[in-house]
Amino acid sequence: MQTPAAALHDLPAHTLLQAYRQRTLSPVEVVQAVLDRIDRWEPHLHATWLLRPEAALAQARASEARWLRGAPQGLLDGIPCTLKDNIATCGDPTPLGTAAVDLVPAPADAPPAARLREAGAVLVAKTTMPDFGMLSSGLSSFHALARNPWDLDKGPGGSSAGAGAAAAAGYGPLHVGTDIGGSLRLPASWCGIFTLKPSLGRIPIDPPYTGRAAGPMTRNVHDAALMMQVLSQPDVRDSMALPPQTLDWQDVERGPEHVRGLRIGLLLDAGCGLAVEPDVRAAIEHAAALLESAGAQVTPLRPFMTQAMLDGMDHFWRMRSHLDMASLPAERRALVLPFIRAWADSVADMPGAAVFQASQQFHATRVATVRACAAFDYVISPVAPLPAFAAELPSPTNDPLRPLEHIGFTVPYNMSEQPAASVNCGYTASGLPIGLQIAGQRFDDLGVLRLARAFEHLRGAQRPWPEPPTVSP
């Protein structure tokens, strides 16, 4: 029986692939439904850039022909997807969310884009991000302000801002973002979707950087696992890539019984930054109780981050950004968001010794995180201490000298290279989603996906996905 067209944009990727195989759905139908959904939502969300409907439909028609021949191109043939602005696509500029850089066409696809094309995915659009990816909001000097579909007064988080909003709004099932301190997990948490920040090097990227990872952003664990099978393929351009491994990414289905006997640490205090708000704490405690009732050994974990660690990483990133912006012509530099300029310029006079000391906090964070997690199979915590905040703000504090006070739970796992997921675990009194972070031991990406899938069973039914307003913005 054919699925009603109105629901096509909500169908997960693994369901679409089965329908393509059975010829009950065509990629053309699905992509058109996604484009119609984008058309309704986009005036409100501003989640996309380089949205090219005709190009997407041309890809869909080519996919349809392959399925009719019984010869799909790859694992994701005909599945709509989006890519974050900072993931290069051949022939397109890569603005990095800022009006300050020249729009020069990229000479080649970055690894995630290349893998998706090889697998036959339909690239519907790029998604928006803030200037240089250095904000946890959708505020940008290049893109229109991105908003959260659960509440248009709130931001989707960042820096994978458009990707988080797109996934929650039904812009197709598959989206790719990046993360250096929480940029996958924060928008996933605030938009109620699923993501995995993989172990460093699991998904090849270009350019690589300490702590930087690309990852899937989806509505469910199964679709994320499907993407991992494609995105984790080797690419020599990533000098930090892990050795190729044959992992059974599709073997993620686990019920509540999977939880029995697992040693799980419960972290409710990051040790730095903003205090956890009551609604968030209650949702995480409820998630912990669900895991414990299923047989997990849940043990409270003392904070292992310090404010000095967070400040050191912040100051080093300021100096990196200050030097990057200092290399720009004055007229270009003036186009950067004032908040970002103020943040970066605050360290203009920092002596070399202080920069070195700041850089050492990356290693200190790594050591502390690995040591704290060693006694556990997994560690759970909030993704962020607060739910989604006002869309117009660059950060929850709105203070360029305190810009990272909300990443104390996420950034440790970038530095320790451990996989960490965000899975929705509840809602605030006003209906905003709340993400549970599940962190695993280094290289145990598959284990994190399996525990997240077991938790999807435990958490019960979720609220319906938001619908676009019926009036123009």
Asked if residues 291 and 259 have their Cβ atoms less than 8 Å apart, the reply is: yes
Structure tokens at 289: 């109780």
- 52-60 contact pairs (CB < 8 A, 24+): 52/124, 52/125, 55/123, 56/31, 56/80, 56/122, 56/123, 56/124, 56/125, 57/28, 57/31, 57/32, 59/31, 59/122, 59/123, 60/26, 60/27, 60/28, 60/30, 60/31, 60/32, 60/122
Asked if residues 468 and 44 have their Cβ atoms less than 8 Å apart, the reply is: yes
Annotated catalytic residue within 140, 141, 160, 183: 183
Q: Which of 180, 148, 182, 142 is nearest to 167 (CA)?
A: 148
> Active-site residue 141, yes or no?
no
Annotated catalytic residue within 159, 199, 416, 422: 159
CA–CA gap between residue 154 and residue 393 (Å, rounded): 9
> Active-site residue 183, yes or no?
yes
CA–CA gap between residue 300 and residue 175 (Å, rounded): 34
> Active-site residue 321, yes or no?
no
Annotated catalytic residue within 26, 84, 137, 395: 84
Residues labelled catalytic: 84, 159, 183
